[in-house]
Amino acid sequence: MRVILIIFMFLSSTVRCISQDLQVYSPSKKDKLSTEAYEVFRTNKFLDFKDKDSLIENIDGFVNKRTNLNTFFQHKKDWEKIQKEDTTSFAKRENAKYAYNANSMIETYLEFGSYNVRKEIKTVYNPKSFVLLYEKKYFVGKNYNRTESIVNEYDNQNRVIKITKRTEYSKKENNEESVIRARYENETVTITSKNGSVVCELVGSKTFSKSPVKLKSALALPFDYYKYMEECYLEESKKCFEKYPRVEGKELKSISNLIYKKINKNTPNAIYRIDNGGFAIRNLYFKHS
């Protein structure tokens, strides 16, 4: 009886260990935003990476991830070829059918999987062969199962500004939809979704040159705090704001909240941008009472 009890105890502990090892991984908000950023650039056919060396992801005012674009891809990209590509030069699938109209090319083909699963796949391209629609219909035998689709919207420079992902079932109450939006400004792309917002900076080699360009909107080092007090403590003029530029608006609020939660439980009176010689990593100086 004792032997049986010992064996039972051993088995129960083993099952407990296995159940702990099989815990389902749940990606964090930052992981989800990073994946969504990748989707935006992939949809852009990576044209945004031409002549760039680094991709820096900023979340809540702080650097979340930095990617070396020179080693990011499995195969070296021929940027000139990609930029010139259109529906006439686009590499065609051997098992696919193609239809054309004035503004698009439509590609259709079938895929077969295990358990008698059939997938009807349709892709609609614009004249520059950027994907407008990617649709995959699933059938099990003769029975329809679901449709998964991605709809992309572009600006006049073929930069994706909205990605809508849908899963549609025969019972419409089970349908799912998610939206990713992208806003472009100079070398920055702001990507937003239900998971939040990530600001992506595309950095070229010139940013890291030996003679970096001075930023007009950054505080030059060394920072003489006592001189600042003499000039601006009693009266903060327009000249003070130009000489000692501050973080403002939504960025100020998000950084202040992080400082309050993670550092000292105090809210900064002011946060200043530091000129770090043109490097992409931002430095900030803050003071509080």
Identify the pLDDT of residue 81.
86
Q: What percentage of the chain carries pLDDT values higher than 70? A: 69
Residues, the chain, total? 289
Give the separation between CA 90 and CA 127, rounded to whole angstroms: 10
Average pLDDT over residues 83-101: 91
Q: What is the pLDDT of residues 203-240, one digit of tens each?
A: 886 544 444 444 445 666 666 777 777 777 666 666 67
Identify the pLDDT of residue 208.
45
16-20, 91-95, 147-151, 156-160: segment of lowest average pLDDT: 16-20
Nearest Cα neighbor of 106 from 89, 84, 121 is 121
Identify the pLDDT of residue 245.
72
Give the separation between CA 43 and CA 152, rounded to whole angstroms: 8
pLDDT band at 49 (very low <50, low <70, confident <90, very high): confident
The pairing of beta strand 196-203 with beta strand 131-140? unpaired
Nearest Cα neighbor of 220 from 259, 168, 177, 272 is 272
Q: What is the pLDDT of residues 229-238, one digit of tens each?
A: 777 766 666 6
**Per-chain mean pLDDT for the chain:** 78
Identify the pLDDT of residue 266.
64
Identify the pLDDT of residue 5.
45
pTM exceeds 0.75, yes or no = no
Give the separation between CA 219 and CA 200, rounded to whole angstroms: 23
Q: What is the pLDDT of residues 134-163, one digit of tens each?
A: 999 999 999 999 999 999 999 998 899 999
Q: Could you give the strand order of the β-sheet that contains 105-113, starting from the edge strand earlier in sequence? A: 62-68, 54-59, 196-203, 188-193, 176-185, 160-169, 143-154, 131-140, 117-125, 105-113, 97-100
Identify the pLDDT of residue 227.
75
Average pLDDT over residues 4-19: 47
Give the separation between CA 192 and CA 29, rounded to whole angstroms: 12
Residue matched to tokens 């070829």: 81
Cα separation values, 31 from 25, 57, 205, 236, Å: 12, 11, 27, 41
Radius of gyration (Cα) for the chain, nearest Å?
A: 27
Average pLDDT over residues 255-268: 67
Q: What are the φ and ψ backbone dihedral angles of 119, each rounded to 5 degrees?
A: -120, 125
More confident residue, 24 or 59: 59
Identify the pLDDT of residue 75.
74
Identify the pLDDT of residue 231.
73
Identify the pLDDT of residue 178.
96
